[in-house]
Amino acid sequence: MPHPDLTLTPAGPALAPRYRPAAAPAGPARAADPYLRLFSHPGTRAFTAGNLIARLPMGMFGVSAVIMIAAAYGSYALAGAVTAANLAVGSVTGPLIARLVDRYGQARIAVPATAYAVLGHLVLLLCVHERAPVWALFLTTAVTATAPNTGGMSRARWAHLFRDDPDALHTANSFEQAADELCFMLGPVLAALLCSALFPEAGTLTAGLLFLSGVLVFAAQRSTEPPVAPRTTAGSPLRAPGMASLLLVFLATGAVFGSMEVVALAYVDGPVAGPVLALQAAGSCAAGLLYGRARRTARLRTCLAAMTVLMAMPLLAASTGSLLALAGGLLVAGMATAPTMVTGMGLIQRLAPAAQLNEGMALAVTALLAGVAAGSAGGGWAADHAPFASFGFLLPVTAAAVALTLCTATGAGRGPRVDA
């Protein structure tokens, strides 16, 4: 959660596209299924397949590391601290890697960056296996933070292909959000299964193999790779009008996700916690695919208002004490996630300078992760100090309301788009 082109992606006017841009189909073709239309263009199926393979490990690495470190050192606190350190370093390196992708191209940067990250995961695995000093774990996990934003690079290709077809681009962004939800729903389950059925390091090994293989397949699809943009003196995408306020909204939205995950796990507290929480991702995945069929994109403020209302469903369900009701509440609450993220990422594509689209998306992901971290911390505190069982579910509702307030007060997303 990125590449050069004339409008939505990084591309300079001095460079011609490597392929003929996709034109919006006319006549009866427009009545066809939007997803069939999406994948009817040459090269889209191949780069999507590679990207999905590369994206699945993003939901595996964290869980695998926690299980692996906890099994070797007997401390979930240490495992959590190491994975948190990885997120912290990644929030700094992510935009820098994305800037290099904008400047030098996806294939040229993504492949070595991925190989370096996978190497870091293997070194971490060896350190854990050999019971290395704790400081070595923190040092090594920092090396793994060079992983490129695979979802962002895929969105950049769609933005380049369909820069003159807003409807198709909306469908593509909706598909990408649904794919995010699916991968982050299946990844942890696969990692936990591998680590428990085989050995604690199996999840990390499998994730590394999938990640490198997927990026290689994705990078090999050069016909859909956006052209490299010329160097820009525009500075950070943060300077783009409206970008800073939109990132604040992303920060608050991340707190919704982080707090909901922790308070739901703490409330259920058992082997069914994972499957129950996965229903939220399932609801988001389904809503994302349906949203992609819509002819129009809702306003971000409207999406956040819907999220604020729907995030109250788990709170009401938890107050009944019924696990089945909570599962249904999470499923319904998840339906607000994808439309909000699709709309928000669409605004990032519109606001970020064309030559800095990857970096703009990486900043959005960084804001989300920072919000997730803050929400997780708040959710943990609420779980430990809750005056009543469903108290923690107040946090996601509050965070969603804050995001809505920020969006309304700052007019996030209404600034004009700036080209480099």
H helix count then E strand count, the chain: 17, 0
Residues in the chain, overall count: 420
- The Cα–Cα gap between 115 and 6 comes to 30
Tell me if 26 sits within 8 A of 34, measured CB to CB: no
To which residue do tokens 């403020």 refer?
Answer: 301
* pLDDT value, residue 259: 80
Residue 413's pLDDT band (cuts 50, 70, 90): low
Q: Which of 57, 9, 7, 13 is nearest to 225 (CA)?
A: 9
Secondary structure letter of residue 355 according to DSSP = G
Average pLDDT over residues 5-33: 41
| Tokens matching residue 357 | 């689209």
3-state percent breakdown (helix, strand, coil) of the chain, nearest 5: 75, 0, 25
pLDDT tops 50 at residue 385? yes
Average pLDDT over residues 315-323: 85
- In this prediction the pTM is 0.69
What would the pLDDT profile of 207-243 be if each residue is shown by its tens digit? 999 999 999 988 888 877 777 766 655 566 667 777 7
What would the pLDDT profile of 262-290 be if each residue is shown by its tens digit? 777 777 766 676 677 777 778 887 877 77
Cα torsion 284, 155, 46, 206 to 10°: value is -60
Tell me if 217 sits within 8 A of 49, measured CB to CB: yes
Three-state helix/strand/coil letters over 356-378 = HHHHHHHHHHHHHHHHHHHHHHH
- The Cα–Cα gap between 238 and 59 comes to 28
- The Cα–Cα gap between 109 and 93 comes to 13
Quick one: angle between helices 61-73 and 166-197, nearest 10?
A: 20
Q: Which of 136, 134, 147 is nearest to 87 (CA)?
A: 147
| Tokens matching residue 31 | 């009545």
Q: What are the angstrom distances between the C-alpha of 192 and each of 55, 196, 200?
A: 17, 6, 9
Q: Which of 10, 348, 339 is nearest to 171 (CA)?
A: 339
Q: Which of 194, 198, 158, 162 is nearest to 179 (CA)?
A: 158
Tell me if 117 sits within 8 A of 211, measured CB to CB: yes
* pLDDT value, residue 229: 66
- The Cα–Cα gap between 279 and 263 comes to 15
**How many of the other CB atoms lie within 10 Å of CB of 122?**
16
Q: What are the angstrom distances between the C-alpha of 95 and each of 70, 149, 190, 232, 366?
A: 30, 9, 28, 16, 8
Residue 225, Cα to own-chain centre: how many angstroms? 20
Secondary structure letter of residue 18 according to DSSP = S
Average pLDDT over residues 300-319: 88
Where is mean pLDDT largest: 81-90, 126-135, 153-162, 169-178? 126-135
- The Cα–Cα gap between 349 and 28 comes to 29
Kindly write down the DSSP assignment for every residue of 261-326, as one continuous string: HHHHHHHH-STTHHHHHHHHHHHHHHHHHHHTT-SSPPPHHHHHHHHHHHTHHHHHHHTTT-HHHH
Residue 155, Cα to own-chain centre: how many angstroms? 11
Average pLDDT over residues 110-129: 89
